[in-house]
Amino acid sequence: MQASQPILAASNLSLGYQKSKQTKPIADQISFSLEKGKLTCLLGPNGVGKSTLIKTIMGQIPAISGSIFLNGKPIENFSQKALSQKISVVLTEKITTGTLNVRQMVELGRIPHTGWLGRLSGKDQQKVEKAIQTTHISYIEKSPLSELSDGQLQKAMIARALAQDGEVLILDEPTAHLDLVNRYEIMRLLRKIALEENKAVLVVTHDLEIAIQTADQFWLMQCGNPLVTGSPEDLIIQEKLNLLLPTDKLIFDKVSGKVQELDVFEYPVFHGPQEIVDWFKLALRKNKLDISKTGLIISLQLAPFKGTLQIEETTENFESIEEGILLLKTRFGKGFQ
Ligand SMILES: Nc1ncnc2c1ncn2[C@@H]1O[C@H](COP(=O)(O)OP(=O)(O)OP(=O)(O)O)[C@@H](O)[C@H]1O
Protein backbone atom coordinates (compact mmCIF):
# COMPACT_ATOMS: atom_id res chain seq x y z
CA MET A 1 0.00 0.00 0.00
CA GLN A 2 1.28 3.47 -0.83
CA ALA A 3 1.95 5.72 2.17
CA SER A 4 0.38 9.16 2.10
CA GLN A 5 2.59 12.17 1.34
CA PRO A 6 4.61 12.93 4.51
CA ILE A 7 4.40 16.43 5.92
CA LEU A 8 7.92 16.19 7.35
CA ALA A 9 10.65 14.01 5.92
CA ALA A 10 14.39 13.56 6.24
CA SER A 11 16.90 11.21 4.76
CA ASN A 12 20.25 10.35 6.31
CA LEU A 13 20.35 13.36 8.59
CA SER A 14 23.32 14.00 10.95
CA LEU A 15 22.62 16.00 14.10
CA GLY A 16 24.90 17.86 16.43
CA TYR A 17 26.00 21.13 18.00
CA GLN A 18 28.37 23.70 16.63
CA LYS A 19 30.54 25.62 19.11
CA SER A 20 33.03 28.15 17.69
CA LYS A 21 34.58 26.07 14.90
CA GLN A 22 34.06 22.71 16.58
CA THR A 23 31.28 20.30 15.74
CA LYS A 24 29.89 17.96 18.38
CA PRO A 25 28.11 15.15 16.52
CA ILE A 26 25.17 13.62 18.40
CA ALA A 27 23.38 11.26 15.99
CA ASP A 28 23.42 10.28 12.37
CA GLN A 29 21.58 8.03 9.89
CA ILE A 30 18.31 9.67 10.84
CA SER A 31 15.69 9.10 8.15
CA PHE A 32 11.98 9.52 8.70
CA SER A 33 8.68 10.53 7.25
CA LEU A 34 6.02 11.98 9.49
CA GLU A 35 2.43 11.66 8.32
CA LYS A 36 -0.71 13.63 9.13
CA GLY A 37 -3.51 11.83 10.95
CA LYS A 38 -1.04 9.77 12.98
CA LEU A 39 0.42 9.80 16.47
CA THR A 40 4.14 9.04 16.27
CA CYS A 41 6.20 8.37 19.39
CA LEU A 42 9.94 9.00 19.49
CA LEU A 43 11.58 6.70 22.01
CA GLY A 44 15.19 6.23 23.04
CA PRO A 45 17.50 6.21 26.06
CA ASN A 46 18.47 9.41 27.92
CA GLY A 47 21.00 11.49 26.06
CA VAL A 48 20.63 9.72 22.71
CA GLY A 49 19.56 12.96 20.99
CA LYS A 50 15.75 13.07 20.94
CA SER A 51 15.53 16.73 22.02
CA THR A 52 18.37 17.53 19.61
CA LEU A 53 16.29 16.06 16.79
CA ILE A 54 13.30 18.17 17.88
CA LYS A 55 15.45 21.33 17.97
CA THR A 56 16.70 20.51 14.47
CA ILE A 57 13.17 20.02 13.17
CA MET A 58 12.16 23.34 14.76
CA GLY A 59 15.02 25.04 12.91
CA GLN A 60 16.71 26.07 16.22
CA ILE A 61 19.95 24.30 15.28
CA PRO A 62 21.10 23.37 11.78
CA ALA A 63 21.67 19.75 10.80
CA ILE A 64 25.35 18.85 10.37
CA SER A 65 24.41 17.25 7.08
CA GLY A 66 21.22 16.36 5.28
CA SER A 67 17.98 18.30 5.20
CA ILE A 68 14.54 18.16 6.70
CA PHE A 69 11.72 18.77 4.27
CA LEU A 70 8.44 20.36 5.28
CA ASN A 71 5.78 19.83 2.62
CA GLY A 72 8.61 18.91 0.25
CA LYS A 73 10.67 22.12 0.88
CA PRO A 74 13.89 22.29 2.97
CA ILE A 75 13.09 23.81 6.38
CA GLU A 76 15.99 26.24 6.07
CA ASN A 77 13.96 27.94 3.31
CA PHE A 78 11.23 28.81 5.84
CA SER A 79 11.44 31.90 8.04
CA GLN A 80 11.05 31.29 11.80
CA LYS A 81 7.57 32.84 11.59
CA ALA A 82 6.51 30.65 8.63
CA LEU A 83 7.87 27.60 10.47
CA SER A 84 5.91 28.44 13.63
CA GLN A 85 2.71 28.69 11.60
CA LYS A 86 3.31 25.12 10.43
CA ILE A 87 4.89 23.46 13.47
CA SER A 88 3.53 23.87 17.01
CA VAL A 89 5.77 22.74 19.82
CA VAL A 90 5.21 21.93 23.49
CA LEU A 91 8.52 21.70 25.33
CA THR A 92 9.22 20.26 28.77
CA GLU A 93 9.95 23.52 30.58
CA LYS A 94 7.11 24.61 32.83
CA ILE A 95 5.58 28.00 32.10
CA THR A 96 5.77 30.05 35.26
CA THR A 97 4.20 33.31 34.12
CA GLY A 98 2.02 33.38 37.20
CA THR A 99 -0.31 36.22 36.24
CA LEU A 100 -1.62 34.74 32.98
CA ASN A 101 -4.78 32.71 33.11
CA VAL A 102 -5.43 29.64 30.97
CA ARG A 103 -7.35 31.39 28.19
CA GLN A 104 -4.71 34.13 27.93
CA MET A 105 -2.02 31.51 27.58
CA VAL A 106 -3.97 29.65 24.88
CA GLU A 107 -4.38 33.00 23.07
CA LEU A 108 -0.57 33.30 22.93
CA GLY A 109 -0.71 30.37 20.51
CA ARG A 110 -2.05 32.80 17.89
CA ILE A 111 1.08 35.02 17.97
CA PRO A 112 2.63 33.44 14.84
CA HIS A 113 -0.51 34.56 13.00
CA THR A 114 -1.15 37.96 14.62
CA GLY A 115 2.30 39.14 15.76
CA TRP A 116 3.06 40.13 19.39
CA LEU A 117 0.86 43.22 19.35
CA GLY A 118 -1.78 41.84 17.03
CA ARG A 119 -5.40 41.82 18.13
CA LEU A 120 -7.25 38.55 17.90
CA SER A 121 -9.70 38.48 15.01
CA GLY A 122 -12.95 36.51 15.08
CA LYS A 123 -11.16 33.62 13.39
CA ASP A 124 -8.36 33.73 16.00
CA GLN A 125 -10.96 33.67 18.79
CA GLN A 126 -12.63 30.67 17.15
CA LYS A 127 -9.33 28.76 17.03
CA VAL A 128 -8.71 29.55 20.71
CA GLU A 129 -12.21 28.44 21.67
CA LYS A 130 -11.93 25.21 19.68
CA ALA A 131 -8.55 24.41 21.27
CA ILE A 132 -10.07 24.94 24.75
CA GLN A 133 -13.03 22.70 23.87
CA THR A 134 -10.90 19.92 22.36
CA THR A 135 -8.71 19.72 25.44
CA HIS A 136 -11.71 19.95 27.84
CA ILE A 137 -10.33 22.87 29.85
CA SER A 138 -13.25 25.34 29.69
CA TYR A 139 -13.81 24.78 33.40
CA ILE A 140 -10.38 26.26 34.22
CA GLU A 141 -10.12 28.90 31.50
CA LYS A 142 -10.10 31.76 34.05
CA SER A 143 -7.66 30.04 36.43
CA PRO A 144 -4.16 31.49 36.78
CA LEU A 145 -1.46 29.14 35.50
CA SER A 146 0.17 29.14 38.94
CA GLU A 147 -2.90 27.38 40.37
CA LEU A 148 -3.01 24.48 37.92
CA SER A 149 -2.10 20.88 38.58
CA ASP A 150 0.56 19.38 36.30
CA GLY A 151 -2.12 17.53 34.32
CA GLN A 152 -4.21 20.70 33.82
CA LEU A 153 -1.13 22.70 32.85
CA GLN A 154 -0.17 20.10 30.29
CA LYS A 155 -3.64 20.24 28.73
CA ALA A 156 -3.44 24.06 28.64
CA MET A 157 -0.05 23.83 26.87
CA ILE A 158 -1.54 21.41 24.35
CA ALA A 159 -4.45 23.82 23.86
CA ARG A 160 -2.01 26.66 23.17
CA ALA A 161 -0.22 24.49 20.58
CA LEU A 162 -3.59 23.59 19.01
CA ALA A 163 -4.59 27.27 18.84
CA GLN A 164 -1.31 27.85 16.98
CA ASP A 165 -2.88 25.53 14.42
CA GLY A 166 0.25 24.07 12.83
CA GLU A 167 -0.10 20.96 10.71
CA VAL A 168 2.63 19.38 12.84
CA LEU A 169 2.39 19.20 16.62
CA ILE A 170 5.54 18.22 18.51
CA LEU A 171 5.61 17.52 22.25
CA ASP A 172 8.73 16.76 24.29
CA GLU A 173 7.81 14.40 27.17
CA PRO A 174 4.28 15.76 27.75
CA THR A 175 3.52 13.09 30.34
CA ALA A 176 6.72 13.38 32.39
CA HIS A 177 5.17 14.72 35.61
CA LEU A 178 1.77 13.06 35.38
CA ASP A 179 0.11 10.16 37.18
CA LEU A 180 -0.83 7.00 35.31
CA VAL A 181 -4.44 8.01 34.53
CA ASN A 182 -3.40 11.46 33.26
CA ARG A 183 -0.60 9.94 31.19
CA TYR A 184 -3.12 7.72 29.39
CA GLU A 185 -5.56 10.62 29.07
CA ILE A 186 -3.00 12.95 27.48
CA MET A 187 -1.80 10.31 25.04
CA ARG A 188 -5.36 9.39 24.04
CA LEU A 189 -6.14 13.10 23.58
CA LEU A 190 -3.09 13.47 21.32
CA ARG A 191 -4.15 10.46 19.24
CA LYS A 192 -7.66 11.92 18.93
CA ILE A 193 -6.21 15.26 17.81
CA ALA A 194 -4.02 13.50 15.21
CA LEU A 195 -6.96 11.54 13.88
CA GLU A 196 -9.82 14.03 14.07
CA GLU A 197 -7.91 17.20 13.24
CA ASN A 198 -5.62 15.49 10.73
CA LYS A 199 -2.42 16.67 12.40
CA ALA A 200 0.96 14.97 12.40
CA VAL A 201 1.63 14.54 16.12
CA LEU A 202 5.16 13.64 17.25
CA VAL A 203 5.64 12.88 20.93
CA VAL A 204 8.92 12.24 22.72
CA THR A 205 8.23 9.81 25.54
CA HIS A 206 9.78 7.25 27.86
CA ASP A 207 6.37 5.67 28.57
CA LEU A 208 6.84 2.57 26.47
CA GLU A 209 3.72 0.69 27.60
CA ILE A 210 1.37 3.66 27.11
CA ALA A 211 3.01 4.45 23.78
CA ILE A 212 2.39 0.88 22.62
CA GLN A 213 -1.30 1.28 23.49
CA THR A 214 -1.76 4.64 21.79
CA ALA A 215 0.79 5.31 19.02
CA ASP A 216 0.37 4.62 15.30
CA GLN A 217 4.09 4.84 14.62
CA PHE A 218 7.28 4.46 16.61
CA TRP A 219 10.64 6.06 15.93
CA LEU A 220 13.33 4.24 17.91
CA MET A 221 16.55 6.18 18.41
CA GLN A 222 19.62 4.29 19.59
CA CYS A 223 23.25 5.31 19.96
CA GLY A 224 25.29 4.97 16.79
CA ASN A 225 22.53 3.23 14.82
CA PRO A 226 19.99 4.35 12.24
CA LEU A 227 16.57 5.50 13.38
CA VAL A 228 14.20 2.52 13.27
CA THR A 229 10.62 3.34 12.30
CA GLY A 230 7.42 1.34 11.99
CA SER A 231 4.15 0.54 13.71
CA PRO A 232 4.56 -0.51 17.36
CA GLU A 233 2.94 -3.88 16.62
CA ASP A 234 5.33 -4.67 13.76
CA LEU A 235 8.37 -3.54 15.73
CA ILE A 236 7.26 -5.73 18.65
CA ILE A 237 6.91 -8.90 16.58
CA GLN A 238 10.23 -8.14 14.86
CA GLU A 239 11.76 -7.87 18.38
CA LYS A 240 13.02 -4.35 17.57
CA LEU A 241 12.00 -2.88 20.94
CA ASN A 242 15.00 -4.67 22.44
CA LEU A 243 17.10 -2.06 20.60
CA LEU A 244 16.05 0.33 23.39
CA LEU A 245 17.28 -1.98 26.16
CA PRO A 246 20.56 -3.28 27.56
CA THR A 247 19.72 -6.84 26.46
CA ASP A 248 22.10 -8.50 28.90
CA LYS A 249 19.82 -7.22 31.69
CA LEU A 250 16.39 -6.40 30.29
CA ILE A 251 14.23 -7.83 27.55
CA PHE A 252 10.91 -6.84 26.02
CA ASP A 253 8.47 -9.72 26.40
CA LYS A 254 6.17 -9.64 23.40
CA VAL A 255 3.54 -11.83 25.06
CA SER A 256 2.96 -9.62 28.12
CA GLY A 257 3.99 -6.39 26.33
CA LYS A 258 6.26 -5.51 29.25
CA VAL A 259 9.94 -5.01 29.85
CA GLN A 260 11.27 -7.81 32.03
CA GLU A 261 14.49 -8.51 33.83
CA LEU A 262 16.36 -11.27 32.07
CA ASP A 263 15.86 -14.59 33.87
CA VAL A 264 19.00 -15.70 35.61
CA PHE A 265 17.65 -19.12 36.63
CA GLU A 266 15.17 -21.75 35.55
CA TYR A 267 11.80 -21.92 37.21
CA PRO A 268 10.46 -24.92 39.15
CA VAL A 269 7.39 -26.79 37.90
CA PHE A 270 4.25 -24.65 38.13
CA HIS A 271 0.62 -25.73 38.00
CA GLY A 272 -2.15 -23.16 37.71
CA PRO A 273 -3.54 -20.38 35.52
CA GLN A 274 -0.94 -18.41 33.58
CA GLU A 275 -2.03 -15.05 35.02
CA ILE A 276 -1.06 -16.03 38.58
CA VAL A 277 1.97 -18.07 37.57
CA ASP A 278 3.40 -14.99 35.77
CA TRP A 279 2.95 -12.75 38.85
CA PHE A 280 4.49 -15.44 41.08
CA LYS A 281 7.47 -15.61 38.70
CA LEU A 282 7.85 -11.83 38.90
CA ALA A 283 8.04 -12.06 42.72
CA LEU A 284 10.64 -14.84 42.40
CA ARG A 285 12.69 -12.74 39.99
CA LYS A 286 12.56 -9.66 42.22
CA ASN A 287 13.74 -11.70 45.18
CA LYS A 288 16.37 -13.47 43.05
CA LEU A 289 15.28 -16.81 44.51
CA ASP A 290 16.99 -19.65 42.67
CA ILE A 291 14.85 -22.69 43.32
CA SER A 292 15.45 -24.33 39.95
CA LYS A 293 17.20 -27.46 41.22
CA THR A 294 15.05 -28.18 44.24
CA GLY A 295 12.57 -30.57 42.58
CA LEU A 296 9.84 -28.24 43.81
CA ILE A 297 6.31 -28.17 42.42
CA ILE A 298 4.29 -24.99 43.00
CA SER A 299 0.51 -25.19 42.52
CA LEU A 300 -1.56 -22.01 42.42
CA GLN A 301 -5.24 -21.27 42.11
CA LEU A 302 -7.28 -18.07 42.07
CA ALA A 303 -10.61 -17.05 43.63
CA PRO A 304 -10.06 -17.99 46.38
CA PHE A 305 -6.28 -17.84 46.21
CA LYS A 306 -4.62 -21.05 47.27
CA GLY A 307 -0.97 -21.97 46.89
CA THR A 308 0.85 -25.21 47.60
CA LEU A 309 4.56 -25.99 47.66
CA GLN A 310 5.30 -29.65 47.14
CA ILE A 311 8.70 -31.17 47.59
CA GLU A 312 9.01 -34.95 47.66
CA GLU A 313 6.44 -36.12 50.24
CA THR A 314 6.00 -32.73 51.97
CA THR A 315 3.39 -30.11 51.10
CA GLU A 316 2.94 -26.64 52.56
CA ASN A 317 0.12 -24.22 51.88
CA PHE A 318 0.17 -20.42 51.59
CA GLU A 319 -2.56 -17.78 51.26
CA SER A 320 -0.85 -15.10 49.16
CA ILE A 321 2.11 -14.69 46.82
CA GLU A 322 3.93 -12.71 49.52
CA GLU A 323 3.48 -15.59 51.98
CA GLY A 324 4.63 -18.12 49.36
CA ILE A 325 7.83 -16.15 48.73
CA LEU A 326 8.48 -15.90 52.47
CA LEU A 327 8.07 -19.66 52.78
CA LEU A 328 10.50 -20.27 49.95
CA LYS A 329 13.02 -17.85 51.45
CA THR A 330 12.87 -19.65 54.80
CA ARG A 331 13.26 -23.03 53.17
CA PHE A 332 15.74 -22.34 50.39
CA GLY A 333 17.93 -19.48 51.50
CA LYS A 334 18.11 -15.81 51.91
CA GLY A 335 17.30 -15.02 48.30
CA PHE A 336 18.83 -11.56 48.24
CA GLN A 337 22.13 -11.30 46.36
N1 LIG B 1 23.32 23.02 23.65
C2 LIG B 1 24.06 21.91 23.63
N3 LIG B 1 25.37 21.96 23.28
C4 LIG B 1 26.14 20.86 23.25
N5 LIG B 1 25.69 19.61 23.56
C6 LIG B 1 24.39 19.48 23.91
C7 LIG B 1 23.52 20.63 23.97
N8 LIG B 1 22.28 20.19 24.36
C9 LIG B 1 22.38 18.85 24.52
N10 LIG B 1 23.65 18.42 24.25
C11 LIG B 1 24.15 17.04 24.31
O12 LIG B 1 23.49 16.29 23.28
C13 LIG B 1 23.29 14.95 23.71
C14 LIG B 1 21.83 14.58 23.45
O15 LIG B 1 21.00 15.36 24.30
P16 LIG B 1 19.44 15.38 24.14
O17 LIG B 1 18.90 16.32 25.15
O18 LIG B 1 19.11 15.60 22.71
O19 LIG B 1 19.08 13.86 24.52
P20 LIG B 1 17.65 13.20 24.79
O21 LIG B 1 17.63 11.94 24.03
O22 LIG B 1 16.58 14.20 24.53
O23 LIG B 1 17.76 12.88 26.34
P24 LIG B 1 16.63 12.77 27.50
O25 LIG B 1 15.85 11.53 27.24
O26 LIG B 1 17.47 12.67 28.74
O27 LIG B 1 15.82 14.03 27.43
C28 LIG B 1 23.71 14.87 25.17
O29 LIG B 1 24.98 14.28 25.23
C30 LIG B 1 23.75 16.33 25.59
O31 LIG B 1 24.72 16.52 26.57
221 and 85 within one domain: yes
Looking at the structure, tell me whether residues 277 and 185 fall in a common domain: no
Of 31, 37, 28, which Cα lies nearest the Cα of 9?
31
Same domain, 57 and 180: yes
274 alpha carbon to ligand 1 midpoint, in Å? Answer: 42
State the pLDDT at residue 115: 67
* pLDDT recorded at residue 97: 61
Residues 192 and 201: their CA atoms lie apart, in Å, by 10
Q: Is residue 119 part of a domain?
A: yes
**Residue 246 within a domain:** no
Q: What is the pLDDT of residue 267?
A: 81
Lining residues, ligand 1, CB within 6 Å: 17, 24, 26, 44, 46-52
Clarify whether residues 43 and 171 are in a common domain.
Answer: yes
**CATH code of the domain covering residue 147:** 3.40.50.300
Q: For 165, left (φ over 0), alpha (ψ -120 to 50), or beta?
A: left
**Is residue 237 one of the residues assigned to a domain?**
no
- Positions in the chain short of pLDDT 50: 335-337
Mutation probe of ligand 1 site: the residue of 46, 50, 52, 205 with most atoms within 8 A of C-beta? 52
Residues 58 and 164 in one domain: yes
Q: How many angstroms is it from 17 CA to the middle of ligand 1?
A: 9
Q: 186 CA distance to ligand 1 centroid (A)?
A: 25
What is the pLDDT, as a whole number, of residue 312? 84
ipTM score for this prediction: 0.97
Locate the ligand 1 atom nearest the alpha carbon of residue 44 and give its number.
Answer: 21
Domain that holds residue 325: 269-332
* Shared-domain flag, residues 112 and 203: yes
Verify that 214 and 85 share a domain, yes or no. Answer: yes
pLDDT at res. 311: 86
Same domain, 105 and 226: yes
In a domain, 235, yes or no: no
Distance 49 CA to ligand 1 centre (A): 5
Let me know if residue 88 belongs to a domain.
Answer: yes
Q: First and final CA of the chain: distance in angstroms?
A: 53
Whether 319 and 218 map to the same domain: the answer is: no
Give residue 241's pLDDT: 92
253 inside domain = no
Total structural domains within the chain: 2
- 120 and 190 share one domain: yes
How far is it, in rounded angstroms, from Cα 169 to Cα 166? Answer: 7
String of DSSP letters for 273-293:
-HHHHHHHHHHHHHTT---TT
Identify the pLDDT of residue 120.
Answer: 81
Q: Is residue 72 in some structural domain?
A: yes
Domain edge (last residue) among 205, 230, 255:
230
Q: 285 and 215, same structural domain?
A: no
Taking every pair of Cα atoms in the chain, the longest distance, rounded to a whole number of angstroms, is 85
